[in-house]
């Protein structure tokens, strides 16, 4: 997470970014920021722009995405407050489903924060599931991943 993400977009693009996600509350020029992201070519796919994403904080209503839908390729639904470990917020599965319904099929829906092997299969509508602590905190990431995949 960075302050004033628009100042750093060109550097991330030059470094080889294929997707950039900014916080919904990253500033008052969010649409301009998303347009700036989309003005740069993807490093691996130079025939298309960098994917433009917005992270939806746990305390933001899903409807806050509505004005941005024409500018988004990706929504990252946060299951925890950034920087904190722990269980995902109650109702995360319903939140993911609501984002999918609002955003439609053309927008990727990703989920991160508090995702466990048991929670992952309930996140219908998610295209990407990110899990850190559930995989790495126990010391045997390979076993944790096998358990995670067993539930999917």
In which band, very low, low, confident or very high, does the pLDDT at 19 lie, cut at 50, 70 and 90?
very high
The domain containing residue 49 runs over which residues? 5-151
For 93-140, what is each residue's pLDDT tens digit? 999 999 999 999 999 999 999 999 999 999 999 999 999 988 998 899
Per-residue 3-state assignment (H helix, E strand, C coil) for 30-69: HHHHHHHHHCCECCCCCCCECEEEEEECCCCCHHHHHHHH
What is d(CA 71, CA 54) in angstroms, rounded to the nearest whole number?
Answer: 10
Total domains in the fold of the chain: 1
Can you give the pTM of this predicted structure?
A: 0.93
Residue 106: CATH number of its domain: 3.20.20.70
């Amino acid at each position: 997470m960075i302050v004033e993400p628009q100042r750093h977009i060109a550097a991330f693009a030059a470094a080889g970014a294929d997707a950039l996600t900014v916080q919904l509350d990253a500033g008052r020029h969010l649409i301009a920021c998303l347009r700036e992201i989309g003005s740069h070519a993807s490093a691996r796919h130079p025939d298309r722009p960098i994917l433009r994403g917005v992270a939806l904080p746990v305390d933001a209503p899903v409807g806050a995405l509505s004005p941005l839908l024409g500018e988004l390729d990706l929504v990252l639904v946060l299951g925890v407050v950034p920087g904190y470990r722990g269980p995902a917020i109650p109702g995360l599965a319903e939140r993911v489903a609501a984002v999918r319904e609002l955003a439609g099929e053309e927008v990727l829906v990703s989920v991160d924060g508090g995702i466990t092997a048991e929670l992952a299969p309930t996140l219908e509508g998610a295209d990407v599931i990110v899990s850190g602590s559930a995989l790495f905190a126990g010391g045997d990431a390979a076993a944790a991943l096998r358990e995670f995949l067993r539930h999917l």
